[in-house]
Amino acid sequence: MKVLKFPLLTITISFAIGIIAEYYFEWTFSKLITLLIFCFGAFCFLFWKSKKVLLQNISFGITTYLLAFSLGMLSFYVHSDTNNANHYTKNTIEETNSIRAIVTSVLKPNVKYNKYFISLSHFNDSVTSGKMLLYVPKINTIKLSTGDEIWLKNSVYPIPKAFNPYQFDYANYLEKQNVFHQIYTQENQIKIIQTYRIFDFYIEKLRNSLSKSFDIHHFEPKTKAIIDALILGQRLELDKETIADYSNAGVIHILAISGLHISIIYFFIVFLLKPLKRVRFGAEIQLLIVLAILWLFAFLTGLPASVTRAVTLFSFISIGNYFNQPKAIYNALAISAFLILLINPNAIFDVGFQLSYAAVLSIVLFQPFYKKFYFTENKIGIYFIDTILVSLAAQIGVLPLSLYYFNQLPLLFLFANLIIIPLSSLVLIVGIVILPLNYVFPSIAVFLGHILEYSIQFMNNYIHWIAQFKSGIITNISFSGWLTFSMYLIIIALIYGLYHAKAKNVKYILLSILIFQCSYITVKWNENHRSELVIFNEKATLIGIKNQKNVIAFSDAPEHHYATLNHYKRGTFSDSLEVFSLKNTISFKNKRILVVDSLGIYKTSIRPDIIVLTQNPKINLLRLIQDVSPKVIIADKSNYKNSIKRWETTCRKEKIPFHAIAEKGFYKLE
């Protein structure tokens, strides 16, 4: 079919670039429609001129990509909730708001609160739309579930930006899921109006029932949490220690259902249904059963992004195999990604989306060269060689993204994957087999449950052992977006060189390495010739000065700030970090900073440009302003809220800029 020869992969890439462009440029609807009409008109004209033949010249190809680009921009605009005329942000947000909404997702709780996504239907008596993040105290007697329609009257707060420079920005993460505000409720403040028995309601009920069926085994909490994560896609009960061990060992992907797990399920189902091919319409029946089981599993796990990606991909692989197109993996990748982005354009910003497609594409591109490393014909030997090569190929594909997002490089991932991949496959298959037996033959299920328990315990212990090797992971690696792009150029050049093994093509690899080196030198040079002062958003006072290659910090409790300072040192590509005791006077460039602490002692002869109020000093701020005439006053997070409000009122009267770090975030002076 001619459509299979169409460059679906490059069209999908163009569509994705359009999404990213609209996110940054924020074009209006009229501009987007104008662009789309122009591109569509050019596309139709060139298509008609070429007598409706799909394989075209360069002009037709460029026009096709521009059309996909414009569709990507329009798709992102349409799916942005804030562009909806009924979005709650179009209304005035009062100090206390009446809210009516439906619970759409149950999230991983924190220490004090259960967390939910809610979809608004009414906001202050207006019919509205939009999503919010809801915090409900764990002591609350009412437990919310998907489908519950709730009413509450409460304050609505913007989701705070990153507390400090180069830390994870939770507000930005939620913004890309169209969530902009959060609600903190008190005990029994929420009223459940009714429960809609929607599809998600029944799926959640079924999932909870399946999870509860494992109670007959009396597994330990850690073991049960792994089962829920691997089989039902629920990571709510995973403890921090387990997550840290799997992350440090470089196998955190095991705990999130993704392509690896779906592939295991897919091949297991295909193996079980292989006899169907001997009967009439057996291939069609096998295809339908495979698709039904894969999508039932996807809905059962709550349709997280990673599962949706993997199931969509393997659905197209199944269809390709049915039509005897096993080599149409690139089309399957492109179509699955395109459909996901068409339904949810924000998925392009999801780290999991980027990592999974980078890993799968890398595995597929390197796959033709695996046989060169087979030094045995033994099936077990080939299996372990394939495991190593697939792990290595996937790691190459995700390496730039891992360095950019996580700033760490696990060195023992091959040793971990060598044991964990077959072991997790066993756990997944045995767990799926046990699931129906829990209801039908509990005694057999309990017997198999011992195998499952021992396997999970061995897996956890092995990962914990690997994670203990501190030299097995390089952390706090400085990396930027441009370096990520440059490293992918090296990978692309390497793959091109493997497919076109000629001596002259080595120049492309060398050129890409040179570009990466120049990129690093440029980024490092720019950072090393930049200076700034930062007053951090910390409970204990912390002031940092970046002076070209070095970072100097001032604090009386440095043991509380190691993580913050390491993030800052890494993000600024600094070579060294020194911490000193907090001083009352600090100089930065031509600015003088006066730090007034709990003692409230200061010298008026200093004439500072900036005053930093810390540790709740008992001072007359009006008198201080009249004495030294500062240009800016800053109150850090160590002060009481009522003191901050009082100082803010004084500064407003005296027309002095006031920055409350607890409210506005860290303060930066360049």
* 439 within a domain of the structure (yes/no): yes
Question: 588 with 501, same domain?
Answer: no
Of 42-56, 168-182, 426-440, give the lowest mean pLDDT range.
Answer: 42-56
Rounded Cα distance, 595 and 110, in Å = 35
Identify the domain boundary among 440, 474, 508: 474
| Structural domain total, the chain | 5
Rounded Cα distance, 232 and 256, in Å = 10
Sheet of 610-613, strand order: 585-588, 591-596, 610-613, 632-635, 658-660
pLDDT at 54: 52
Q: Which residues lie closer than 8 Å to 314 by C-beta, 6 or more apart?
A: 262, 263, 266, 294
* 157 within a domain of the structure (yes/no): yes
* 543 within a domain of the structure (yes/no): yes
pLDDT of 3 higher than 60:
no
Length of the chain: 670
* 345 within a domain of the structure (yes/no): yes
514-569 pLDDT, tens digit each: 999 999 999 999 998 889 999 999 988 999 999 888 999 999 888 889 999 999 99
Of 212-216, 312-316, 458-462, give the lowest mean pLDDT range.
Answer: 312-316
Any idea which residue has 């999503």 for tokens? 131
CA distances from 303 to 204, 238, 300, 344, 446 (A): 11, 19, 7, 13, 29
Question: 181 with 35, same domain?
Answer: no
Question: 339 with 239, same domain?
Answer: yes
Handedness of CA 10, 303, 351, 402 (dihedral sign): negative
Rounded Cα distance, 515 and 537, in Å = 37
Handedness of CA 371, 373, 374, 379 (dihedral sign): negative
Question: 467 with 494, same domain?
Answer: no
* Domain coverage including residue 568: 531-669
Question: 353 with 435, same domain?
Answer: yes
113-148 pLDDT, tens digit each: 999 999 999 999 899 999 999 999 988 777 898 899
* Pick from 422, 461, 466: nearest CA to 247: 466
Question: 587 with 502, same domain?
Answer: no
> Three-state DSSP class for 452?
helix
Identify the domain boundary among 474, 496, 516: 474
Cβ-based neighbour number of residue 533 at 10 Å: 21
pLDDT at 401: 93
| pTM of the full structure | 0.87
Residue pair 454/427 in contact by the 8 Å Cβ criterion? no
* Pick from 446, 453, 404: nearest CA to 427: 453
Question: 506 with 552, same domain?
Answer: no
Q: Which residues lie closer than 8 Å to 327 by C-beta, 6 or more apart?
A: none
Question: 543 with 520, same domain?
Answer: no
pLDDT at 251: 81
* 46 within a domain of the structure (yes/no): yes
Identify the domain boundary among 172, 196, 220: 196
58-86 pLDDT, tens digit each: 777 888 899 999 999 999 999 999 999 99
* Pick from 542, 552, 544, 543: nearest CA to 575: 552
> Three-state DSSP class for 122?
strand
* 201 within a domain of the structure (yes/no): no
Question: 216 with 134, same domain?
Answer: no
**Tokens found for residue 48:** 């008609």
Angle at 329 between CA 231 and CA 389, to 5 degrees: 70
CA distances from 352 to 306, 318, 647 (A): 6, 23, 45
Rounded Cα distance, 517 and 519, in Å = 5
Question: 166 with 259, same domain?
Answer: no
pLDDT at 296: 85
* Pick from 259, 245, 231, 585: nearest CA to 433: 231
Question: 67 with 210, same domain?
Answer: no
pLDDT at 1: 36
248-292 pLDDT, tens digit each: 888 877 877 777 778 888 888 888 888 887 887 888 888 898 888
* 341 within a domain of the structure (yes/no): yes
* 316 within a domain of the structure (yes/no): yes
**Tokens found for residue 87:** 């979005």
Rounded Cα distance, 96 and 99, in Å = 10
pLDDT at 480: 94
**Tokens found for residue 293:** 């089981």
Rounded Cα distance, 60 and 50, in Å = 9
Question: 184 with 213, same domain?
Answer: no
